[in-house]
Amino acid sequence: MRIVVNADDFGASKSTNEAIDYAFRNGIINRTTIMVTSPYCEDAMQRAFDGNYAGSVGLHLHLDGGGKSSITQEIRKYDLSSPYFWKKTKNRIFITDRGLRKAIKAEIEAQMQRYIELGCTLMHIDSHHHRHLDLSILMLVIPLAKKYGFRAIECDVHYTKDSVL
């Protein structure tokens, strides 16, 4: 059995990059996921290539950071940084606003393209605050993941003392 220890938010800040680089080089973690919209994204990938772990970097979709943390212009029309937005839409089958759906899809695709441009090959997806697991978002992620050849999407499963296995 192989255990995967993943560190999210690679690229979020210089200190996050330093910590994740240290953890990789010292065998504490064996995977990370990068925020391709962050200002320290290139620094993160340089560390990954220098440390010979670039093949262990997945994509950390970032949809709720607001205008500063997006690639596409269209998504900036919507306030996805608001916790109220996500509470309101959580677990809905569809976001009913077609413009918003189109903007989210375009942003996801742009982040996937950026990930590939950076030279990443792990082809694994997770997301900031697990937004990709909201059904309305997951239904946009899956076809795009297939289109770009992603092989894995994190499914967050939580067990409690009352869970039956």
Give residue-wise pLDDT tens across range 10-25: 999 999 999 999 999 9
Structure confidence by residue, pLDDT tens digits, 92-125 = 556 778 898 999 999 999 999 999 999 999 999 9
In this prediction, residues 122-137 reach a mean pLDDT of 88
pTM, full prediction: 0.88
Contact (CB, 8 A) for 134 and 90: yes
